[in-house]
Amino acid sequence: MENAYFIFIALKSSECYCFHASKEIRKNTVYQLINSIKAIQRAWRTFKLRPETWAKQVWNIMRNDSTPDRKKYLGIFLLVERRINPQTQEEYDLHTDEYVNGLKKAFNKNIAQKYIKKYLAEQATGYKEYNYYNPSEWAENKKFQLYNCLNAVAYIVAFIKLHQQGYRIVIYEDWSLMLKCLANPKYHHNSKLYNNIVINFIKNSEYARYMCKKAGK
């Protein structure tokens, strides 16, 4: 009791507490301190035992999504540094092929060949296993990687949970909207975008009719 009181007043450094206080005052002070500590402990236990929010669950899933370290843009640096390319050779080749195929679909043959020739000329330097990055570029890449990962995980979680409640998501939107839909489906059934009403999800029983209407059938 005595030790607890003296430690307390040493930390408190207040005129309300002194070394010459009576035994009764010391006793009451220590009891008040103990009760305060118990109250803090109870509040902390309540906080720790509360149900995880959807945001917390999505973040935990994303942290353990098996993304390779080379794609996470790990580390902080102040000067330009040489780092391993997050994109593998196979991914580089696949991206090139997809871009070329996209040009073929978007334009007629002559125009497509013109753009393809220009694009392949820009890619002539080929794949580099290591690149040089400045700090701001590295940080922006990290933000973009996290944003895309959050969007994907939030969509998957929202799709599964809303489907269990009898709904079907019909959009792929920002992760924050996906979590809002999970937290309060009735309120976020629709959202407003540039003065237009956007349907976020519908009942499973209405999905086929909705998609036919959207396709103009």
- In angstroms and rounded to an integer, the radius of gyration of the C-alpha atoms of the chain is 29
Is the residue at 188 inside a domain? yes
pLDDT at 82: 92
pLDDT at 21: 52
* Adjacent-strand bridge partners of 83: 131
All residue ranges of the chain with pLDDT < 70 are 1-52, 54, 63-65, 124, 217
Domain of residue 150, residue span = 51-65+136-217
Is the residue at 130 inside a domain? no
pLDDT at 22: 59
Instruction: Quote the number of domains for the chain.
Output: 2
Statement to judge: residues 146 and 160 lie in one domain:
yes
Q: What is the pTM of this model?
A: 0.60
- Residue type at 213 in one-letter notation: K
Statement to judge: residues 201 and 157 lie in one domain:
yes
pLDDT at 113: 87
- Any residues with CB less than 8 A from the CB of 177 and at least 6 apart, and which? 188, 191, 200
> CA-CA-CA-CA torsion for 143, 146, 151, 154, nearest 10 degrees?
-140
DSSP state of 138: H
